[in-house]
Structure 1
Amino acid sequence: MQKKQKEEAEAAGYYWLVKWRVQLFGRQWNFMDIASVVVIFGLHCLALLAPFHFNLSAVWLAMALYVLTGLGVTLSYHRNLSHKSFKLPKWLEYFFAYCGTLALQGSPLEWVSTHRYHHQFTDTWNDAHSPIKGFWFSHIGWIFDYGSRFGSTEGRLNNVGDLRKQPYYIFLHYTYPFHSLALGFLLYAVGGLPFLVWGLGVRTILYLHVTFAINSICHTWGKQVWDTGDLSRNNWLFGLLAHGEGWHNNHHAFEYSARQGFEWWQIDLTWYVIRVLQAVGLATDVKLPTETQKKRKALCNKKFSKDRLETIVNDGKL
Structure 2
Amino acid sequence: MSFLDRVLDPPSYGYEKNGQLHVPTARAIAREFFSRLNILRTRKNWLPLTGWTTTLGLGIPLTLSFTHFFNLWFCLAGFVYGMVVLGTHGTVWFHRYATHRAFQFKNAFWRELCRNLVVKTISEEVYVISHHVHHAKAEQPGDPYNVKAGWLYCFLADVNHQGIHRDLNAKDYGQLCKLMDHTGVRLNSHAQYLKWGSLCHPAWTVLHFALNWAVWYGIFFLVGGHALALALFGWAGVWVVGVRTFNYDGHGGGKDRRRDGIDFNQKDLSINQRWPGLITGEWHNNHHLYPHGARAGFLPYQFDPAWHVIRFGWRVGAVRSYRDFQEDFLERHYRPWLEAQKRP
TM-score by length of 2: 0.66
Alpha-carbon spacing, 1:240–1:209, altered in 2? closer, same or farther (3 Å):
farther
Q: Distance in 2 between matches of 1:126 and 1:196?
A: 40
The answer to which structure has the higher helix fraction is: 1
Q: Which runs of 5+ in 2 are unaligned?
A: 1-27, 40-45, 188-199
Q: Distance in 1 between matches of 2:334 and 2:314?
A: 28
Q: Give the secondary-structure state (helix, strand or coil) at the position aligned to 2:307.
A: helix
Identity of paired residues, percent? 21
Partner of 1:132: 148
How far off is 1:236 after superposition?
A: 0.4
Q: Select which of 71, 80, 84 maps to 1:55.
A: 71
Equivalenced residue count is 277
Highest RCO, 1 vs 2 (Cα 8 Å, sep ≥ 6): 2
Q: Which moved more, 1:276-285 or 1:74-83?
A: 276-285
How far off is 1:205 after superposition?
A: 2.4
1:254 is aligned to 2:290: yes
Q: Give the secondary-structure state (helix, strand or coil) at the position aligned to 1:87.
A: strand
Q: Distance in 1 between matches of 2:74 and 2:60?
A: 17
Q: Select which of 89, 112, 117 maps to 1:99.
A: 117
Q: Which runs of 5+ in 1 are unaligned?
A: 1-22, 309-318
Partner of 1:237: 275
Which amino acid is 1:42 matched to?
Answer: G
Which amino acid is 1:270 matched to?
Answer: A
Q: Distance in 1 between matches of 2:217 and 2:305?
A: 30
Q: Distance in 2 between matches of 1:165 and 1:239?
A: 26
Q: CA RMSD in A?
A: 3.8
1:111 is aligned to 2:127: yes
Q: Give the secondary-structure state (helix, strand or coil) at the position aligned to 2:145.
A: coil
Q: Distance in 2 between matches of 1:238 and 1:72?
A: 13
TM-score by length of 1: 0.71
Q: Select which of 99, 108, 113 maps to 1:82.
A: 99
Q: Select which of 178, 192, 198 maps to 2:210.
A: 178
Deviation by residue 1:56-79 (Cα, 9 ceiling, x = unmatched): 564476367545544432212221
1:120 is aligned to 2:136: yes
Q: Distance in 2 between matches of 1:165 and 1:58?
A: 36
Which amino acid is 1:212 matched to?
Answer: R
Aligned pairs (5 A) from 1:28-39 = 28-29=35-36, 30-31=38-39, 32=46, 33-39=48-54
Alpha-carbon spacing, 1:195–1:142, altered in 2? closer, same or farther (3 Å):
same
Q: Which moved more, 1:116-125 or 1:44-53?
A: 44-53
Alpha-carbon spacing, 1:284–1:178, altered in 2? closer, same or farther (3 Å):
same
Q: Select which of 226, 246, 252 maps to 1:214.
A: 246
How far off is 1:34 after superposition?
A: 4.0
Q: Give the secondary-structure state (helix, strand or coil) at the position aligned to 1:164.
A: coil
Q: Is the 8 A contact 1:65 1:199 kept in 2?
A: yes
1:143 is aligned to 2:158: yes
Alpha-carbon spacing, 1:151–1:123, altered in 2? closer, same or farther (3 Å):
farther
How far off is 1:153 after superposition?
A: 4.2
Alpha-carbon spacing, 1:149–1:46, altered in 2? closer, same or farther (3 Å):
same
How far off is 1:255 after superposition?
A: 0.5
Deviation by residue 1:160-190 (Cα, 9 ceiling, x = unmatched): 4153377x42188623332344247536864
Q: Give the secondary-structure state (helix, strand or coil) at the position aligned to 1:99.
A: coil
Which amino acid is 2:58 matched to?
Answer: L
Q: Give the secondary-structure state (helix, strand or coil) at the position aligned to 2:313.
A: helix
Alpha-carbon spacing, 1:229–1:92, altered in 2? closer, same or farther (3 Å):
same
Alpha-carbon spacing, 1:179–1:72, altered in 2? closer, same or farther (3 Å):
farther
Q: Give the secondary-structure state (helix, strand or coil) at the position aligned to 2:120.
A: coil
Q: Is the 8 A contact 1:69 1:99 kept in 2?
A: no
Which amino acid is 2:59 matched to?
Answer: H
Q: Distance in 2 between matches of 1:159 and 1:299?
A: 39
Which amino acid is 1:238 matched to?
Answer: P
Alpha-carbon spacing, 1:160–1:229, altered in 2? closer, same or farther (3 Å):
farther
Alpha-carbon spacing, 1:34–1:109, altered in 2? closer, same or farther (3 Å):
closer
Q: Is the 8 A contact 1:125 1:132 kept in 2?
A: no
How far off is 1:124 after superposition?
A: 2.0
Q: Is the 8 A contact 1:218 1:234 kept in 2?
A: yes
Q: Distance in 2 between matches of 1:285 and 1:37?
A: 35
Q: Distance in 2 between matches of 1:39 and 1:92?
A: 26
Alpha-carbon spacing, 1:198–1:44, altered in 2? closer, same or farther (3 Å):
same
Q: Distance in 2 between matches of 1:281 and 1:42?
A: 37
